[in-house]
C-alpha cells in the first residue's frame, strides 16, 4: 500500500496514548478479515509497533497478500458457517490462543454483527469499533431511524412495520406515491434493496429483497421508504470517544452507484454550501451522541439535488443509515484530513480522548479538509450486454499504478485466485490533488496504468465514467449512472471501449502473436509464417472477446521489416513491432502504429491472450472449433457466471415470454435472474435449487411451441 510516497501517521498529534485512558495500550491485534482491508490494517499496526495475527480460509493460498501482511497467520477451519470469516466462536478462540488483546473486524458482515462484538468483549478482548449495543441499535435501520428522530435528525418518510407484507408495501406506495425503495432492516452494502416503480412489481421485489437479506444478514425483515430522487448521497465521517465527545471529520460524496453499491467516492463533497455542510456535520454528531456511539462510524444522508430543491443553497437532507464500522471509502478522508483512521480507531479503543487525538480540529468543530481525493473501487467484473457480472479467474500478471498523489489499497498479486467465494472488490485506487480536477486527472491516469491480467475488472469502465461531462462537472446524483447506462448513446460509450481503442489493441494483439511465434521484423526462411518467392505469406487468425464478439486478424511481413495488419478483413495498416523483454508467455513489446509508439504486455492464460497497453486491459481467445451439433441451441439458457441455483421459477412445460425469469443464481453475494431468450415453452430444466454451476453451463432450454 502506497500513500503519497509514504505511510501517514497521527503520531504528531498523539502526545501520550495512555492519557485519560484507564486502559492498557493495545499490544497484539487479531485482524478478522481478508483482502485489501486486512493488508491496510496490518500496515498501520506494523508502523505503530503493534503485533498482528491474520487468518485465512482453507481455500486461500498461504502466500496471499493479506496472509503475508501479518506477523503471524492462522488457517481457519471450514465449519457450518457459509464463510469461516464469520465463525465468531472460532475467531474468538484463535484470538485467545494467540494472546491477542484486541480484534479489528475491518468492514463487512462480521463488523456489523453485535453478537460478534459481544463475544469478543465477553472473552476480555477489546473490539476496535463501536460497542455491541451501538451496532445492534444502528444496524437495524428501523431502530436507527427512531434514534435519528429522537436526535432531531431529518429522515425519509417510510414504513418499518415489524412484519412488512406485500399489502403493506402496496398501501404505503398508494399513499406516498411511486417509486418506493425496499430495504433490508439489517446490514448494508446495497444488499436486500429493490426499487419498485409499479405496483405489479411488489411481489417479486419483496421476495427478492427478503431472500437477499436472509442470505447476507441472516434475517429477512424489510422496511419501505419513499424514494427521494434526484438526490445526492453524502456521508459524514464521525468519531466519538469514551468520554462523551463526538466530532465530524469531513464528508464524502458517494452518489455514483450501481445497484445501490458505490463505485466512485470523493472528499470533500463538491458544491456544498458552508451552511449545508454544517447542517450535515451537526446532524451526524447529534445522531452519534443520541445513540451513545463510540469509535468511528459513518452517517449517510440523501441531499436533494439542486434541480429538485426549493432552495438550492439549503437543500433538504434526509438520514439514510449509520454504518457502525470503518468504511471502504475511508482513504479519501485520510488523504484530505492527513489522518490515519485505523490508528484513530486504535487510540479511541485505548481510551484516549478526542481532545488529545484531534487538537487541530477541536472537539465539536471541523477538522479542516485540504485538497481533494477520489477513490475508485476496482471489482472483478465483466460486461455482458447491458449487465455487469462478477468475474473469476487467476491473476496472471499484475502492476499497480504509481506517481505523485496516487495510493493503492490492494488485496491481490500475481497468482491470486479470484473466486465466487468472496466479495468481488479486489482493490481501491485513490488519487489526491490540490483540487478536484487534479485529483480526477491523476485517477484517470492511474486507472490506465493499472494492469490486472487474468481477471476482468471494471477499471476501464470507471476511467470512461470519470471522463463523462456530468462527472467532470460534479453533476452527480444517485440515479445518474443508471440513467446514463440506459441511454442509447451514453450506455454503450461507457460499457465498451471506443472503436479506435479496440482496433489499436487488436493490432497490438496481432503483432504480439507474430513475435511470440518467433517471427522477426526481417522475415526469412526460418520464420513461422513461411517465406516464399513473391508476396510473403499472411497469418490469419479468428478470435472472440469476453462478450463473444468476433475479431479476425491478418498479419503479413513487409519487405522493409514492418508488419501489414488487417482487422476483420478490412484495409491493412503498416506497423512496426519489436520485443522489449520477456519470453513468449510474458511478452513486452513496442508497437508503432499511426505514428504513435506504445508499450504493450501480452500474457497467455490457457486459451486466452491478455493484453495491457495505453488503452487498458483486453482479452481475446481463438475462435473455438464448433463440431456439428455440439453447440448449445439458440434457446439455451447458460449460466453467465459460476454460482449457486437459488430458485427455478418455471418448470419444464411452462409457457414463458421473452425476458421472463426461468432460473435465479447467486454469486459473490449478488442475485441474478437468468431469463428466457424468446417466447416459447421451457423444454427442459437441467439444474435444481442448491446446485453449483459453472460459467457457460446449460441451465434450461426454451423452444418455440411448434418445436416442443
Lowest model confidence (mean pLDDT) among 32-41, 138-147, 284-293, 459-468: 138-147
Helices (H), 291-396: 330-337, 341-349, 354-357
End-to-end CA distance of the chain: 58
Lowest model confidence (mean pLDDT) among 266-275, 499-508, 514-523, 596-605: 514-523
Protein fold of 157-226: Dna Ligase; domain 1 (3.30.1490)
Helix (H) or strand (E) holding 348, with range, is helix 341-349
Average pLDDT of the chain is 87
Tell me how crowded residue 68 is: count the other CB atoms within 10 A of its CB.
14
Residue 421 confidence class, pLDDT cut points 50, 70, 90: confident
Tell me how crowded residue 448 is: count the other CB atoms within 10 A of its CB.
18
Question: Of 290, 245, 279, whose CA–CA distance to 150 is shortest?
Answer: 290
- From CA 471, how far away is CA 364, in angstroms rounded? 32
Lowest model confidence (mean pLDDT) among 31-35, 201-205, 503-507: 201-205
Protein fold of 229-370: D-amino Acid Aminotransferase; Chain A, domain 1 (3.30.470)
Residue 601 makes CB contacts below 8 A (sequence gap 6+) with 397, 451, 453, 582, 586, 587, 588, 589, 611, 612, 613
Does residue 576 have a pLDDT over 90? yes
pLDDT at 23: 72
pLDDT tens profile 222-259: 889 888 888 999 999 999 999 999 999 999 999 999 87
Residue 29 confidence class, pLDDT cut points 50, 70, 90: very high
Average pLDDT over residues 18-38: 82
Indicate the CATH number for domain 372-495: 3.30.470.20
Does residue 298 have a pLDDT over 70? yes
**Per-domain residue ranges for the chain?**
157-226, 229-370, 372-495, 499-622, 636-703
pLDDT at 625: 58
- From CA 287, how far away is CA 345, in angstroms rounded? 19
Average pLDDT over residues 86-104: 97
- From CA 648, how far away is CA 650, in angstroms rounded? 6
Does residue 17 have a pLDDT over 70? no
CB-based contact 481:490 (threshold 8 Å): no
pLDDT at 668: 62
pLDDT at 242: 95
Class at the top of the CATH hierarchy for domain 636-703 = mainly beta
Half-sphere exposure of 236 (CA within 13 A, CB side): 32
Query: Burial code of 228-240, b = ≥16 C-beta within 10 A, e = fewer?
Result: bebbbbbbbbbbb
Residue 553 confidence class, pLDDT cut points 50, 70, 90: very high
pLDDT at 431: 98
Grid cell, residue 590, equals 513496442
Higher pLDDT, 266 or 524: 266
For the domain with range 499-622, which CATH number is right: 3.30.700, 3.30.9, 3.40.190, 3.40.50? 3.30.700
pLDDT at 178: 87
Grid cell, residue 28, equals 497484539
Enter the DSSP assignment of 542. Answer: E
pLDDT tens profile 98-112: 999 999 999 988 999
Average pLDDT over residues 592-608: 92
Residue 630 confidence class, pLDDT cut points 50, 70, 90: very low
pLDDT at 628: 37
pLDDT tens profile 511-520: 999 888 765 5
In sequence order, the β-bridge partners of residue 380 are 457
Question: Of 608, 675, 606, 605, whose CA–CA distance to 639 is shortest?
Answer: 675
pLDDT at 108: 87
Residue 535 confidence class, pLDDT cut points 50, 70, 90: low
| Matching fold, domains 229-370 and 499-622 | no
pLDDT at 533: 47
Grid coordinates 480526477 are at which residue?
Answer: 440
pLDDT tens profile 632-684: 445 778 887 778 888 898 888 888 888 888 998 877 666 778 888 888 899 88
CB-based contact 113:119 (threshold 8 Å): no
Residue 393 makes CB contacts below 8 A (sequence gap 6+) with 380, 417, 418, 454, 455, 456, 605
Radius of gyration of the chain (CA): 27
Q: Helix, strand, or coil here: 700?
A: strand
In sequence order, the β-bridge partners of residue 5 are none
Quote the percentage of the chain above a pLDDT of 90.
60
Question: Of 199, 191, 14, 23, whose CA–CA distance to 102 is shortest?
Answer: 23
pLDDT at 334: 97
Measured over the CA atoms of residue 501, residue 507, residue 510 and residue 513, the dihedral's sign is negative
pLDDT at 527: 47
pLDDT tens profile 342-388: 999 999 999 999 999 997 655 545 568 999 999 999 999 987 767 78
Are β-strands 616-622 and 670-675 bridged in parallel, bridged antiparallel, or unpaired? unpaired
Grid cell, residue 104, equals 479489528
Residue 82 makes CB contacts below 8 A (sequence gap 6+) with none
Does residue 219 have a pLDDT over 90? no
pLDDT at 367: 67
Grid cell, residue 270, equals 463538491
Counting every residue written for the chain, the total comes to: 708
Does residue 323 have a pLDDT over 50? yes
Does residue 307 have a pLDDT over 60? yes
pLDDT at 188: 66
Residue 528 confidence class, pLDDT cut points 50, 70, 90: very low
Q: Helix, strand, or coil here: 445?
A: helix
Q: Helix, strand, or coil here: 504?
A: helix
Higher pLDDT, 454 or 359: 454
Rounded to 10°, the helix 88-97/114-122 angle is 30
Amino acid at each position: 500500500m502506497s500513500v503519497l510516497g509514504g505511510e501517514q501517521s497521527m503520531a504528531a498529534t498523539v502526545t501520550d496514548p495512555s492519557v485519560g485512558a484507564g486502559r492498557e495500550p493495545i499490544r497484539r491485534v487479531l485482524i478478522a478479515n481478508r483482502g485489501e482491508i486486512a493488508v491496510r490494517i496490518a500496515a498501520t499496526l506494523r508502523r505503530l509497533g503493534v503485533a498482528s495475527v491474520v487468518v485465512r480460509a482453507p481455500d486461500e493460498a498461504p502466500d496471499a497478500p493479506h496472509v503475508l501482511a501479518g506477523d503471524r497467520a492462522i488457517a481457519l477451519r471450514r465449519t457450518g458457517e457459509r464463510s469461516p470469516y464469520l465463525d465468531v466462536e472460532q475467531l474468538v478462540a484463535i484470538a485467545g490462543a494467540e494472546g491477542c488483546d484486541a480484534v479489528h473486524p475491518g468492514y463487512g458482515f462480521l463488523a456489523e454483527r453485535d453478537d460478534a462484538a459481544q463475544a469478543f468483549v465477553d472473552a476480555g478482548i477489546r473490539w476496535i469499533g463501536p460497542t455491541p449495543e451501538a451496532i445492534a441499535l444502528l444496524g437495524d435501520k428501523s431502530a436507527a431511524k427512531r434514534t435519528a428522530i429522537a436526535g432531531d435528525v431529518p429522515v425519509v418518510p417510510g414504513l418499518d412495520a415489524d412484519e412488512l407484507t406485500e399489502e403493506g408495501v402496496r398501501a404505503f406506495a398508494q399513499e406516498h406515491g411511486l417509486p418506493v425503495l425496499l430495504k433490508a432492516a439489517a446490514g448494508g452494502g446495497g444488499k436486500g434493496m429493490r426499487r419498485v416503480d409499479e405496483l405489479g412489481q411488489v411481489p417479486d421485489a419483496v421476495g427478492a429483497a427478503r431472500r437477499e437479506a436472509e442470505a447476507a444478514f441472516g434475517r429477512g425483515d424489510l422496511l419501505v421508504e419513499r424514494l427521494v430522487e434526484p438526490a445526492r448521497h453524502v456521508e459524514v465521517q464521525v468519531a466519538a470517544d469514551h468520554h462523551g465527545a463526538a466530532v465530524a471529520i469531513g464528508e464524502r460524496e458517494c452518489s455514483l452507484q450501481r445497484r445501490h453499491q458505490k463505485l466512485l467516492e470523493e472528499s470533500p463533497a463538491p458544491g456544498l454550501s458552508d451552511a449545508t455542510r454544517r447542517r450535515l456535520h451537526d446532524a451526524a454528531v447529534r445522531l452519534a451522541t443520541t445513540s451513545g456511539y463510540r469509535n468511528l462510524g459513518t452517517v449517510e444522508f440523501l441531499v436533494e439535488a439542486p434541480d429538485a430543491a426549493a432552495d438550492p443553497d439549503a437543500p433538504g437532507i434526509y438520514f439514510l443509515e449509520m454504518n457502525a464500522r470503518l468504511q471502504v471509502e475511508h482513504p479519501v478522508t485520510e488523504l484530505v484530513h492527513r489522518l490515519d483512521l485505523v490508528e484513530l480507531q486504535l487510540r479511541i479503543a485505548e481510551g484516549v480522548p478526542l481532545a488529545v487525538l484531534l487538537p487541530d480540529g477541536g472537539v465539536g468543530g471541523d477538522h479542516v479538509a485540504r485538497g481533494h481525493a477520489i477513490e475508485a473501487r476496482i471489482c472483478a467484473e465483466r460486461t455482458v450486454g447491458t449487465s455487469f457480472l462478477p468475474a473469476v479467474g487467476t491473476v496472471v500478471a499484475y502492476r499497480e499504478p504509481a506517481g505523485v498523489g496516487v495510493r493503492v489499497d490492494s488485496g491481490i498479486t500475481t497468482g491470486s485466485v479470484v473466486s465466487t467465494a468472496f466479495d468481488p472488490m479486489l482493490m481501491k485506487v485513490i488519487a489526491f490533488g490540490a483540487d478536484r480536477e487534479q485529483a480526477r486527472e491523476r485517477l484517470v491516469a492511474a486507472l490506465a496504468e493499472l494492469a490486472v491480467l487474468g481477471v476482468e475488472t471494471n477499471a476501464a469502465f470507471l476511467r470512461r465514467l470519470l471522463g463523462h461531462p456530468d462527472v467532470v462537472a460534479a453533476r452527480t446524483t444517485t440515479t445518474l449512472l443508471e440513467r446514463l447506462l440506459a441511454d442509447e448513446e451514453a450506455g454503450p460509450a461507457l460499457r465498451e471501449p471506443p472503436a479506435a481503442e479496440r482496433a489499436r489493441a487488436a493490432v497490438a494483439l496481432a503483432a504480439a502473436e507474430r513475435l511470440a511465434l518467433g517471427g522477426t521484423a526481417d522475415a526469412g526462411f526460418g520464420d513461422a509464417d513461411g517465406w516464399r518467392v513473391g508476396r510473403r505469406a499472411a497469418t490469419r487468425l479468428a478470435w472472440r472477446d469476453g462478450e463473444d464478439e468476433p475479431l479476425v486478424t491478418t498479419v503479413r511481413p513487409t519487405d522493409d521489416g514492418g508488419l501489414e495488419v488487417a482487422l476483420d478483413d478490412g484495409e491493412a495498416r503498416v506497423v512496426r513491432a519489436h520485443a522489449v523483454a520477456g519470453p513468449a508467455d510474458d511478452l513486452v513489446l513496442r508497437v508503432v502504429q499511426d505514428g504513435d509508439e506504445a508499450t504493450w504486455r501480452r500474457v497467455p492464460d490457457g486459451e486466452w491472450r491478455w493484453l495491457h497497453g495505453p488503452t487498458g486491459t483486453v482479452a481475446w481467445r481463438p475462435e473455438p472449433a464448433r463440431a456439428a451439433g455440439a453447440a448449445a441451441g439458440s434457446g439455451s439458457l447458460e449460466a453467465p457466471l459460476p454460482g449457486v441455483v437459488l430458485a427455478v421459477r418455471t418448470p419444464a412445460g411452462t409457457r414463458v415470454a421473452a425476458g421472463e425469469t426461468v432460473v435465479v443464481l447467486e454469486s459473490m453475494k449478488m442475485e441474478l435472474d437468468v431469463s428466457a431468450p424468446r417466447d416459447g415453452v421451457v423444454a427442459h430444466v437441467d439444474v435444481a435449487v442448491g446446485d453449483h454451476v459453472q460459467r457457460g453451463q446449460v441451465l434450461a432450454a426454451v423452444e418455440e411451441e411448434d418445436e416442443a
